[in-house]
Structure 1
Amino acid sequence: MVTRWIQAEIIAVIGGGYGGAAVAKALDAETGAEVVLIEPKDAFEHAAGSLRALVRPEWAPNVFFPYDRLLERGRVVRERAASVDAHGVTLASGARVDADHVVIATGSAYPRPAKSGLDSAAEALAALRATHEELASARRVLVTGAGPVGLELAGEITSVWPEKQVILVDPAPELLPAFAPELRADLLSQLAALGVELRLGTTLAEEPPAEPGRAKTFTVTTTDGAGLTADIWFRAHGVHVRSDFLSGELAAARTPQGRVRVDEHLRVEGQERVYAVGDVTDLAEAKMAGYAMQHAEVVARNIASALRGERPTAVYRPSPVPSVLLPLGPTGGVGQVPSPEGPQILPAETVALYKGADLFTGRFAELFGTAPDAAPAPDASPATAGAGASA
């Protein structure tokens, strides 16, 4: 049977991050619709690899993937969305992209070095290398925030400079409380072996006098009255959801935290042809790259159904068992994935095989068409891909 696509239909995807790039690629390859990806950056920034890029600047180019080979028939518009409604996008330039289907995939902002916040890959590379020089000169490194990003940063730093003292400060009384006790015990053991100092259940009474990522010796006090001296610090907390541009009836679907309410088909609340994927969604799960790519699969299937004149049937339900692949450098780390028996704990060797060795750069090279001869990364649950991409 020959599938007849509605050729005139336009799909606007706002945001070219993990979920946006994946849904745009799938719809461009599998439907006859015109896919328009709206993204101000000149290259996809693989945030899950940015922490390794910080400590290994020769590896940093692996973090960036140009958009020019992502779509075969669609187009990428290098602009920022000023306003998005149920019928399309008004760009910062004032130009308009009218669309029959809209996918909101604008993700979130996060402090450097996890996300650069820059639109130019060349500028982002230069910023990483400059911060590397600052870090290289420091003996004691303070990281505020002991979630996945802070933990991965500690692991990357100690893998290159085992002599550096890394201090993690977090107001929570324990690490990764949502995960199995066995995972947390393994994590604590590995951190102790790396010499990472944990100060949990407290926070800084005031910010250090230097900017994050700038070398300057300082002493600060934590809220429990202890002193702490370091030569450089990084902030590994503070997510800002990018949804301020939603207008009209779409703005009504935003939560007070800026996330977008969606139904089981990932349609924006009250909408038939507007979807959301990734960090911007108000789903009860961690905001990780792998989940965003799972969202993209569901949305691509549902829009393809709509183009055939059918009702959407693909459903997304967050797993009750949280997943993570959390490298501590190229050879260490902890992992947890769902199984029929409950949480399955992964040893460091498996975490390194699936993620730590190359941080999934092989599969993104395949997605973006930048290394057609590269072997794909070992298969892993998509839910765990890029676990440290966002906190």
Structure 2
Amino acid sequence: MEKAGDMGIGRGGRRVVVIGGGVAGSLIAKSLQFTADLTLIDQKEYFEIPWASLRGMVEPSFAERSVINHKDYLTNGRLVVSKGINITNSDVLTAEGRLVAYDYLVIATGHDDPLPKIRNERLTEYQAENEKIKAARSILVVGGGPTGVELAAEIAVDFPEKKVVLVHDGPRLLEFIGPKASDKTLGWLKNKNVEVKLQQSVELVRSSDGSNAYITSSRETIKADCHFLCTGKPVGSAWLKETILKDGMDSFGRLKVDENLRIKGHKNIFAIGDITDIKEIKQGYLAQKHALIAAKNIKILMDGQKESKMAVYKPRSIKVIVSLGRHDAVAQFPFTTLIGLVPGLIKSKDLFVGKTRKAMDLNPHIVHY
């Protein structure tokens, strides 16, 4: 068994291990790489800006900026491309048998999302999805949360000649925000000729006669050349059930954290991003806030300062912006709900990709590899 993490500046309790290289894990790794002996453990060699992924399906070249190799920003840390399979009080065990020692541990495994290991393979997937859309005359989108709505909108704007049907099993679209935003979004999609079927599920098995038809729960037939499944993904915590953190999870598999983002019952183990039980909408920009607060708190502990100096995370869901194609968006702010070009100006053109790249100290514009 190979033991890692015993090199570098990590002699005085400064070994930090981050498990999960999504939007939260990559940011905390980047933030701590020059003050800690840092190891990032991720199943893939890159991270992806999650709120930009649907644009990559209609415009594959967009993904060139939103799919970023960890090594592009992790210039002073160690990258272990593997899956974490066990945690003890001092080490993380990875799938290929590497033992990585830690003084501070950060769990940032978000949601389970089986993605290819290498960036180029992910870019090839975007190309294939784009070709699938271009070859289809009719497209079925299953799921009326932000992913399904944004994908249906992207296709409707870029390929207005295609027939798009969105099926959602809930009573309204975007159930995680207010009904006003849902109603405005439904009207916008209908205006773009997207057919929306609510309170229905759909069998993702083509009809027995071999035609391009799918049957809904109310026995309707939907003809579509292809489909995209945009329903929720499970929390990425199943692997923790046999570890020292097994008692730190709620019934949904989320890790219970205190106000400093430490897992309850553990002084040196933090959790950030979608895997936490914080009562707020799970959004990427909030996961980034978790990362910055946890990074600050780990620095305080490494410097031997009092725990009372640690930063407190206050849950909030101040704003929600769901992009609707390249120009429009629906936005819910504390006192108003807007749809159209104004919220679209905030998010939809670049989907915050330039801003996110800049935060990772990367060129905000296109970079050729």
Question: TM-score over 0.5 for the alignment?
Answer: yes
Please report how far the alpha carbon of residue 268 of structure 1 lies from its aligned counterpart in structure 2 after TM superposition.
0.8
Paired residue for 1:167, among 165, 168, 176?
165
Using the size of structure 2 for normalisation, the TM-score is 0.88
The answer on whether the counterparts of 2:354 and 2:365 sit within 8 Å (CA) in structure 1 is no
Please report how far the alpha carbon of residue 174 of structure 1 lies from its aligned counterpart in structure 2 after TM superposition.
1.2
DSSP-derived class of the 2:336 partner: strand
The answer on whether the counterparts of 1:67 and 1:368 sit within 8 Å (CA) in structure 2 is no
Q: In the alignment, what sits opposite 1:335? A: 331
Change (3 A) 1:131 1:248: closer
Paired residue for 1:317, among 314, 317, 332?
314
The answer on whether the counterparts of 1:86 and 1:102 sit within 8 Å (CA) in structure 2 is no
Deviation digits for residues 10-52 of structure 1, max 9, x if unmatched? 11111111111111122224xx321211123122122222211
Q: In the alignment, what sits opposite 2:44? A: 41
* 2:25 maps to 1:20: yes
Q: In the alignment, what sits opposite 1:184? A: 182
| Whole-angstrom distance in 1 between the partners of 2:310 and 2:13 | 23
| Whole-angstrom distance in 2 between the partners of 1:156 and 1:208 | 25
Change (3 A) 1:68 1:86: same
Q: How does 1:34-73 map to 2 (within 5 A)?
A: 34-73=37-76
Q: In the alignment, what sits opposite 1:361? A: 353
Q: In the alignment, what sits opposite 1:194? A: 192
Change (3 A) 1:219 1:235: same
Paired residue for 2:112, among 100, 109, 112?
109
| Whole-angstrom distance in 2 between the partners of 1:61 and 1:279 | 25
Residue 317 of structure 1 aligns with an amino acid whose one-letter code is K
Please report how far the alpha carbon of residue 83 of structure 1 lies from its aligned counterpart in structure 2 after TM superposition.
1.3
> Which ranges of structure 2 fall in alignment gaps of 5 or more residues?
1-9
Please report how far the alpha carbon of residue 7 of structure 1 lies from its aligned counterpart in structure 2 after TM superposition.
4.7
Q: In the alignment, what sits opposite 1:227? A: 221
The answer on whether the counterparts of 2:328 and 2:345 sit within 8 Å (CA) in structure 1 is no
| Whole-angstrom distance in 1 between the partners of 2:239 and 2:28 | 20
Q: In the alignment, what sits opposite 1:91? A: 94
| Whole-angstrom distance in 2 between the partners of 1:37 and 1:21 | 8
Please report how far the alpha carbon of residue 137 of structure 1 lies from its aligned counterpart in structure 2 after TM superposition.
1.3
DSSP-derived class of the 2:244 partner: helix
| Whole-angstrom distance in 2 between the partners of 1:370 and 1:197 | 40
Please report how far the alpha carbon of residue 160 of structure 1 lies from its aligned counterpart in structure 2 after TM superposition.
1.0
| Whole-angstrom distance in 2 between the partners of 1:72 and 1:177 | 41
> Which ranges of structure 1 fall in alignment gaps of 5 or more residues?
111-115, 211-215, 375-391
Q: In the alignment, what sits opposite 1:209? A: 206
The answer on whether the counterparts of 1:12 and 1:88 sit within 8 Å (CA) in structure 2 is no
Using the size of structure 1 for normalisation, the TM-score is 0.84
The answer on whether the counterparts of 2:140 and 2:165 sit within 8 Å (CA) in structure 1 is yes
| Whole-angstrom distance in 2 between the partners of 1:367 and 1:217 | 48
DSSP-derived class of the 1:326 partner: strand
The answer on whether the counterparts of 1:109 and 1:117 sit within 8 Å (CA) in structure 2 is no
Paired residue for 2:293, among 288, 293, 298?
298
* 2:270 maps to 1:275: yes
